[in-house]
Structure 1
Amino acid sequence: MRVRQWSRDLAMGAGFAFTSGREGWVRVLLTAVGVGLGVAGLLLTTAIPNALAVRHERANARTYVMYSQERIPKADNTVLVANVDTAYRGRDVRGRALEAEGTRAPLPPGLKEFPAADEMVVSPALKKLLASDDGKLLRKRLPQHIGGTIGESGLIGSAELAFYRGGEGLAKIGGSNVTRIDEFGLPNQSEPLDPVLLLLVLVVFVVLLMPVGVFIAAAVRFGGERRDRRLAALRLIGSDTRMTRRIAAGEALGSSLLGLALGTVLFLIGRQVVGSVEVYRISVFPGYLDPTPALAALIAVAVPAAAVGVTLFALRGVVIEPLGVVRTARPPRRRLWWRLLLPLGGLAMLYPMIGMGTDNGDFNQYLVIGGVILLLVGVTALLPWIVETVVARLSSGGVAWQLAVRRLQLGSGTAARMVNGIAVAVAGAIALQMLFSGVQGNYTKESQNDLSRARIQVSVPNSVPLGTASAKFTATKGVEQVQTFSEGYLGDRRKEPDLVTQVTIGDCAFLREVASLPSCHNGDVFAMRGGEYDIDTPKPAEPGRTLYFDPSYGSKKGEAVAWSVPRGMKEAQSVKDPSGMTRGGFLMTPSALPAQAVPALSGRMYLKLDESVPDVREFVRNTAVKIDPLADTLMWTAPEQNRRFSSIRTGLFVGATCVLILIGASLLVSQLEQLRERKKLLSALVAFGTRRRTLSLSVLWQTAIPVALGLALATVVGLALGTTLMKMTDVPVTVDWTSVLSMTVIGAAVILLVTALSLPPLWRMMRPEGLRTE
């Protein structure tokens, strides 16, 4: 019986939402838009894990195991693959050269046939770039003929730059850059995240989802005052208080269901839009963004349930009588004690995990999620009390100030609800920024490269004479200096040596870059001391010992070249070379090297650049490809971060960008709804002679005061949460005040932008015609 009563009242309320005239429709649409934006944000956010998983699967499907060519014999079902990756103006370009060795050679995903030796198959994004004026320099280093495009199954994103080019004679080139395979694809296995990275993922999702949930809860309360006045008519015709509240909940339910449908449509539209853009170098195809059925079902149930629950909660202090709504009397003061329990409870849930770090197992996921949620919900609970307490003590000022303060004193709850979402977002962003800053040192590999001595390292195949390559790089625009050398390995036996030592060959000028030499002349040989791996270097007291150049680097397999340690060999103290490495083994000048050993060496060059020359790196890459398509150019850069850590951080930036856009849109809808409710009041003030400038300033003050208080509270809660998370990960607690200030400024900027966009509708409402009524 009770369930039937609830169902009937809720259905009646939902019917009123759509049949109460123009006024009701406006409220329904505003609520539906607010809820719809939130639902779209929830669906997009919950689709991110699936998108990342699909990207990972696609990447695995086109990857292959790197073996030497001898590991798999040539057959009708094998293909030679060479890595020809490049980069263009800071963007990575994935490239592979393919040479089929039989009719059953495996094709990589996304290809229908192998490209010919003088053509390539490209991704749609790369094809578009090459056809534009911006891609002229890149066009010069790739085959001129484009034979087709890579299908979606062979790409990890819609904006990925990738190509497959035809190869020829790859078996003769050899080396670690060329491999023979009989299938593409790796097992879809991944190592579990370490505890700190798992903690980051959990906190990121809570922080991204919480502001959206707060906005949905605020959206279902749009137009609450006018709705309550309409409900008084129901009391007049015999409805009791409980039935009236259930009918009001039914109105919110109807609006939320419409918002759920609108949010689904916005999500489908947004999914298509996301598929055509690239954010922080991450792109996906629309099909990747599919929320898991369980999460989608949870959203479909939770949003209408939350609408009903929030409405009933909001009406607990409202007395709806047959002759009106008792809301104009001074409301009771908000109590503080229960509001403090929320953040304190959150800290209590996180406290047992302080000091765990990465060595004491995984963090308890339920405690982490619950603790972070309670702390952020504490912002929404404390902010109304803070706004009410502060505005109650504000008094004198100009007319605009007094109008704003008086409005806030009469009802500060609406203003606080509008700011709640941005305050939660800022608090979470500050905490995450602190956590990322604290742990990034554990996931950052410091660069040892000396950028003052060189910027690029180039490796050329054995078939290319170093002198020729050096001359071409020297003539390249923007290259200031070229240091050329070769390196290889010496073993104590012809085959399967027990001891292997490094050997570096270069002129005296280069050798002085890697060692402190007593003197140097062409023909000298030096034994290195102090290198990173010099334990196998023969001592000078062992002259005549026979060593063998490692034949695996030569063009004639199995023919090791013998070399005897010379008498009177000098010692040299190793120093850091431009790459930051301290070399061991032997140093040789060119005339001391047996001619037969040249094929067993790999050519290297260090290039120093004039950074003032535009696109100097692109000129170097183009020269390298002209020398040999398989020449490897390594750009030395700043410290390198762990890939998983970088992926999580990038995901946060992408998600935060989407959430900020949704926050701005939801805030604008909320602001317009507040202005609509005060339309007659504003028109009356204008009719009595109040200047529009004064009213505009009053609206700005009504926004600025709660925003300032909300951002101050968000900063305090964010610092508390960030400090707790840093203590949990066992890293020193430090505060990057620049980042804290930037997060606060971004939050304030969103509010100010929304307020500025709401001014034109405000000016249209401030007309005496607004006093008309039906």
Structure 2
Amino acid sequence: MIKVWIRDLLMGVRFAVTGGRPGWTRTLLTGTGVGLGVAVLLLAASVPSAIHAGDVRDVARQYEYVEDAPATDTSVVVTHVFTEYRGKTVGGMLLQPDGDPDRTVTPPGIDRVPTKGEIYVSPKLKRMLDDGDGKLLAERFENAKVVGTIGPEGLSGPADMRFYLGTDTLTAWKDATRTERFGHNTADNDPLPPSMLVLVVVMVVVLLLPIAVFIATAVRFGSEGRDRRLAALRLVGADSAMTHRMAAGEAVTGATLGLLLGGLFFAVGRVLVEKFEVFGYSVYSVDVVPAGWLAALVLLLVPASAVMVTLLAMRKVAISPLGVAREGTDRGRRLWWRLVVLLLGALSLGFFGPSMRGDSTVNEWGIAGGVLLTLVGVTLLLPWAVERVVGRMRGGPLSWQLATRRLQLNSGLAARAVSGVTVAVAGAVALQMLYSSVELRDRSETGQDPGRATMAASHYDVEAPEALDWFERIRKVEGVTEVNGFLVADLVHERAKPDEDGWRAPHQVRIADCDTLRLLIKTDGCRDGDVFLTSDYEEEEYRPEPKPGARFDLHASEYAEDEQLEPLWWTLPKNIRPATTTESPTGELSGGLYVTTGAIDVKELRSVWLEAMLRTDPADRDTVEHIRNLAPVTDRGFQAYELVSTTNSDEFNGIRNALFIGAVVILLLIGASMIVSTIEQLRERKRQLSVLVAFGTKRSTLGMSVLWQTAIPVVLGLVIATGGGIGLGVLLLRMVDESATDWFAFLPLVGAGLLMIALVTVASLPSLWRMMRPDGLRTE
């Protein structure tokens, strides 16, 4: 018995590889289709290893903090610094060796600690600095000399923009840390909120399910020709069981070739992956390694699913010596069991959904199974809908009639070709509805008002005489149209007493001209020399109330143990005017004293910092970079940032970027699958096309028929996917106790589907013209 089975399976293998040009073309198409899906699955299986490798390198470059660590020959004073350049984050460290730079401990990726005026940069940052695109950024490094590049062990990926800059301005106890070890273990990340975790689960299912559908479709390429060949074998004595085993052998051959091609596609993509940067993410080739158990699962499931899909498809095909007959041609496809699958998916989500309300636990597998069943149920409705709709189509132009007649003869083939589009669009609609609601929940108001100011700049480490000069420097930057700035001084009341730690609570006094004060407080008028006290001033135990006539020492420090200069008293005037605080363009709302510049000697202040609110020319994109260049990266007290009204968490932004990357990959896969499927359908019709051309049918007519043949099932699939996606989206939103915020999420997706119809038709035209040649009439 085993020998008979092996013989039949090997016979199927022979048909797949030795059946002449039609045979190996069919096998090659199947292998290509399966290979594309396998390559994407292997890429998905490599995501955990790539993320882990990046996390390991990130931990390796974290330094250990030791309080009051003594200086040694191998210690280094270090601190993190970050800057932004044209929308991209540039991060690094300032390093200051305590001893010999060649003996000092180094962060990963460099062989020695740079000294003042030296810098190590990542390869991506070096290319930017060398080609002139980073000219403005180089000014921020004070034109330090590049003495080397950071190795891969010190970078998160090839597109990481990172630097190590040498300096001699750091103080270990004040603004930096002294360490003798890098590779400090950081705390574990906090778990995702339930709504985000549900979003991740749905995202994984939605992105991976189209791949499985595509592989299942690819293994059935050439099924009509195979069935005719098996009918011929029945004529020479083969029984039904033998034909099934031969079909299984042929399917395994195509799937095995797909595994080999998928491995080849994956290997090529793995080599080229370092050349791509998507939404700021990049990975090294060595990190793209499929997890062992996931790769084994792919190797086992792809051939097994190929055999299973083939045998299931043959259950509805009666192969006899007289030909091939398909079940259901007269009776039609059954609807009830498709609705059962859809209902089971909805019930599963309803069952696992209530645990989300008021609970932090999420049943990932239960939710994934519910989404999977629902999407599969939506996709199963497509063959039934195509059969019902095209069965009632009559008349129309010749191209329309050719397309509808072809669909009527075998609607299942057309439905399979676009099933990947259906499941992808349905999942994308639901995912977009969930994504919009989760984004709204995660979104937080910054309080900033970009309509009143587009940027803000501040400096928390500047001498008082220099503070006023900073405002003039900002005003002179090209592209700055308006500047409103104020100073903040910590003034100590003459009766302030130190607490047990020697700290004296200061009064924060904001100093500005009247134009700027109108952005911070509401008054019934303002003249230079006025002093205002807001109504929401809060008294504290260690801070005496600022009453008229109270005195403040402009030279005093808030710490009693600090060096105290000769007192310089400033007295509050008797006519302190009342005011009400209002939110500034930066979102701040602070009560206390507000003083015009004519009421206090600014140059005598001891402790001061500055805040500036700016309007800039939107046409000059480098204005913000010129403002950031007012101070080098070593000046950690200076900050310049653009104002935004809302922001999302880093966790959500990471999920969003992963979603966009996955969507791009799946969109490319779906486009490729539709092209391969269309070419396979044209190859099956090669003789019919040649006959039609020989009888005078115009090539443009046949081209339009291909368009209609693709468009009809795709449009039906989009309609079903839109309805199913909205329904699934509503179920998911109920799970996270949210309401829909984007009912029109399907519009761009439907537009993308219609555009795909046109692209697939154009891509298939060369094959169509080639198959219309007269040699297609030749037969044996």
CA contact (8 A) 1:355 1:730 kept: no
Structure 1, gaps ≥5 residues long: none
Alignment pair present for 1:131 and 2:130: yes
The 3 A distance-change label for structure 1 pair 362 and 329 is closer
Shift of 1:276: 1.2
One-letter amino acid of the structure 1 residue matched with residue 470 of structure 2 = A
User: What aligned pairs does 1:600-619 form with structure 2 within 5 A after superposition?
Assistant: 600-619=607-626
Shift of 1:552: 7.7
Residues 309-333 of structure 1 deviation map (CA, whole Å, 9 limit, x = unaligned): 0000111111222343334994541
Q: Which moved more, 1:151-160 or 1:199-208?
A: 151-160
Residues 52-94 of structure 1 deviation map (CA, whole Å, 9 limit, x = unaligned): 3333333333345789xx7545444443334442222222222
The 3 A distance-change label for structure 1 pair 677 and 627 is closer
3-state SS, counterpart of residue 170 of structure 1: coil
User: What aligned pairs does 1:33-432 form with structure 2 within 5 A after superposition?
Assistant: 33-64=32-63, 71-103=68-100, 105-142=104-141, 143-171=143-171, 178-184=176-182, 185-187=184-186, 189-327=188-326, 330=329, 332-354=331-353, 356-357=355-356, 359-432=358-431
One-letter amino acid of the structure 1 residue matched with residue 727 of structure 2 = A
One-letter amino acid of the structure 2 residue matched with residue 516 of structure 1 = K
3-state SS, counterpart of residue 295 of structure 2: helix
The 3 A distance-change label for structure 1 pair 357 and 325 is closer
Corresponding position of 1:643: 650
Shift of 1:537: 6.3
Corresponding position of 1:743: 749
Give the TM-score taking structure 1 as reference length. Answer: 0.92
The 3 A distance-change label for structure 1 pair 510 and 18 is same
Residues 293-347 of structure 1 deviation map (CA, whole Å, 9 limit, x = unaligned): 1111111111000000000011111122234333499454110000111111100
C-alpha separation in 2, matches of 1:358 and 1:642: 22
Shift of 1:368: 0.5
The 3 A distance-change label for structure 1 pair 695 and 255 is same
The 3 A distance-change label for structure 1 pair 500 and 210 is farther
Alignment pair present for 1:715 and 2:715: no
CA contact (8 A) 2:549 2:572 kept: yes
Structure 2, gaps ≥5 residues long: none
C-alpha separation in 2, matches of 1:438 and 1:692: 49
Corresponding position of 1:468: 469
Corresponding position of 1:502: 508
Corresponding position of 2:671: 664
The 3 A distance-change label for structure 1 pair 180 and 377 is same
Give the TM-score taking structure 2 as reference length. Answer: 0.91
**Identity value in percent:** 44
CA contact (8 A) 1:553 1:601 kept: no
The 3 A distance-change label for structure 1 pair 559 and 425 is farther
CA contact (8 A) 2:357 2:735 kept: no
Residues 519-545 of structure 1 deviation map (CA, whole Å, 9 limit, x = unaligned): 666665543332699898643459658
C-alpha separation in 1, matches of 2:539 and 2:19: 83
3-state SS, counterpart of residue 92 of structure 1: strand
C-alpha separation in 2, matches of 1:347 and 1:536: 62
Shift of 1:690: 1.0
The 3 A distance-change label for structure 1 pair 329 and 440 is closer
User: What aligned pairs does 1:663-702 form with structure 2 within 5 A after superposition?
Assistant: 663-702=670-709
Shift of 1:724: 0.5
Q: Which moved more, 1:436-445 or 1:355-364?
A: 355-364
The 3 A distance-change label for structure 1 pair 622 and 499 is closer
3-state SS, counterpart of residue 482 of structure 1: strand
C-alpha separation in 1, matches of 2:456 and 2:628: 11
One-letter amino acid of the structure 2 residue matched with residue 95 of structure 1 = G
CA contact (8 A) 1:376 1:428 kept: yes
C-alpha separation in 1, matches of 2:306 and 2:187: 41
Please, which of 569, 577, 581 is the counterpart of residue 588 of structure 2?
A: 581
Residues 496-551 of structure 1 deviation map (CA, whole Å, 9 limit, x = unaligned): 44856533333444334322346666665543332699898643459658789995
Corresponding position of 1:438: 437
CA contact (8 A) 1:483 1:510 kept: yes
The 3 A distance-change label for structure 1 pair 353 and 325 is closer
C-alpha separation in 2, matches of 1:64 and 1:71: 15
Shift of 1:736: 3.3
Corresponding position of 1:530: 536
C-alpha separation in 2, matches of 1:574 and 1:471: 26
3-state SS, counterpart of residue 418 of structure 2: helix
CA contact (8 A) 1:527 1:537 kept: no
3-state SS, counterpart of residue 660 of structure 2: helix
The 3 A distance-change label for structure 1 pair 362 and 238 is same
Aligned length: 767
Residues 217-248 of structure 1 deviation map (CA, whole Å, 9 limit, x = unaligned): 00000111111222234324433211210110
CA contact (8 A) 1:194 1:362 kept: no
CA contact (8 A) 1:488 1:549 kept: no
One-letter amino acid of the structure 2 residue matched with residue 654 of structure 1 = I
Please, which of 624, 628, 632 is the counterpart of residue 639 of structure 2?
A: 632
3-state SS, counterpart of residue 736 of structure 1: coil
C-alpha separation in 1, matches of 2:556 and 2:214: 67
Shift of 1:702: 0.8
One-letter amino acid of the structure 1 residue matched with residue 739 of structure 2 = P
Shift of 1:457: 2.3
The 3 A distance-change label for structure 1 pair 446 and 329 is closer
